[in-house]
């Protein structure tokens, strides 16, 4: 091959590559223009929305049911009522005092029996709330075709359980020292932190439920004698309100 022929070959090769690069850039600019200026009725917008939904499914667990929050809140209110009734009966029989005057008896055998009963009420309340919330979420997950246990759910569970386990250990140690007035605010605060921490891996609205728990828990630190009422408001009423809002927003039309 002569030098002139080789020179023509190189010129033709680079000309072709330049043309291909320009066509590629033109296609990208055209696609960008269509995405930027398409209206809500344009079919590609629906495609982009589908892509967004798929990305959310891959990074967030979006099958939490509003009925899960409602059922958990109802269980919490029933548990709070049972605990209130048990404490009131104990104080009335022990000292003839009034629960509403915040008379707290000293620890003895009857008080230890009271603590045992409260532990049982708490365990039953937690078990029923968890099972009911799980069942409603499982039903919605089946309906949406999303798995109940994948990498996203594992991250959600870890970020929820870790603050709650640490909080449980702190509360348990406080009870061993006799600081029972910190049980209710401790539950609210650490549960709120768990919800805020887990909001990255599920519906973002759950962080507002966490903020509500934190506010109630912090206020309760200055009003410790009304801990049971704050606990019922946080785990009961806020859960019901949150569940109703989530059902209205995500499940009503389905």
Q: Is the pLDDT of residue 60 over 70?
A: no
Are 201 and 85 part of one and the same domain?
yes
Q: Is the pLDDT of residue 7 over 80?
A: no
Over residues 117-136, mean pLDDT = 92
Are 20 and 73 part of one and the same domain?
no
**pLDDT computed for residue 73 by the predictor:** 95
Are 170 and 120 part of one and the same domain?
yes
| pLDDT tens-place string over residues 25-40 | 555 555 555 555 554 4
Are 11 and 73 part of one and the same domain?
no
Structural domain of 138: 66-249
Is residue 127 assigned to a domain? yes
> In the chain, where do the E strands start and end?
none
Are 213 and 170 part of one and the same domain?
yes
Nearest CA among 200, 162, 190, 175 for reference residue 118: 175
The size of the chain, in residues, is 254
- The pLDDT-based confidence of 183 (bands split at 50, 70, 90) is very high
- The pLDDT-based confidence of 113 (bands split at 50, 70, 90) is confident
Distance CA 229, CA 225 (A): 9
Is residue 151 assigned to a domain? yes
**pLDDT computed for residue 101 by the predictor:** 47
Written as six digits, the tokens of 168 are 């449980």
| 121 within 8 A of 128, measured Cβ to Cβ | no
Are 212 and 94 part of one and the same domain?
yes
**pLDDT computed for residue 195 by the predictor:** 93
Are 74 and 178 part of one and the same domain?
yes
Lowest mean pLDDT segment, chosen from 52-66, 175-189, 232-246:
52-66
Over residues 242-248, mean pLDDT = 91
pTM confidence score: 0.71
Over residues 169-180, mean pLDDT = 90
Is residue 56 assigned to a domain? no
Q: Is the pLDDT of residue 52 over 50?
A: no
In angstroms, the Cα distances linking 122 to 8, 78, 93, 184 are: 86, 11, 22, 12
Is residue 254 assigned to a domain? no
How many domains does the chain divide into?
2
Q: Is the pLDDT of residue 214 over 90?
A: yes
Over residues 93-109, mean pLDDT = 54
Are 134 and 178 part of one and the same domain?
yes
Written as six digits, the tokens of 68 are 């899960």
Are 46 and 108 part of one and the same domain?
no
Are 77 and 37 part of one and the same domain?
no
Sign of CA dihedral 130, 131, 133, 138: positive
Are 124 and 236 part of one and the same domain?
yes
């Amino acid at each position: 091959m002569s030098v002139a022929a080789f020179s023509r070959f190189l010129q033709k090769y680079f000309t072709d590559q330049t043309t291909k690069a320009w066509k590629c850039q033109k296609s990208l600019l055209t696609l960008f223009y269509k995405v930027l200026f398409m209206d809500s009725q344009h079919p590609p917008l629906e495609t982009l929305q589908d892509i967004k939904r798929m990305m959310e499914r891959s990074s967030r667990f979006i099958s939490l049911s509003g009925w899960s929050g409602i059922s958990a809140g109802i269980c919490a209110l029933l548990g709070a009522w049972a605990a209130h009734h048990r404490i009131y009966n104990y104080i009335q029989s022990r000292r003839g005092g009034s629960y509403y005057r915040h008379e707290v008896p000293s620890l003895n055998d009857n008080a230890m029996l009271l603590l045992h009963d409260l532990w049982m009420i708490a365990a039953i309340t937690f078990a029923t709330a968890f099972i009911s919330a799980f069942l409603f979420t499982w039903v919605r997950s089946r309906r949406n075709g999303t798995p109940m246990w994948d990498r996203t759910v594992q991250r959600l569970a870890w970020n929820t359980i870790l603050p709650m386990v640490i909080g449980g250990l702190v509360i348990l140690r406080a009870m061993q020292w006799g600081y029972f007035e910190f049980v209710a605010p401790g539950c609210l605060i650490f549960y709120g932190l768990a919800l805020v921490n887990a909001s990255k891996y599920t519906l973002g609205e759950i962080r507002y439920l966490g903020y509500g728990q934190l506010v109630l828990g912090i206020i309760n630190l200055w009003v410790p004698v009304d801990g049971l009422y704050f606990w019922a408001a946080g785990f009961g009423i806020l859960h019901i309100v949150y569940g109703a809002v989530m059902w209205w927003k995500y499940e009503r039309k389905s």
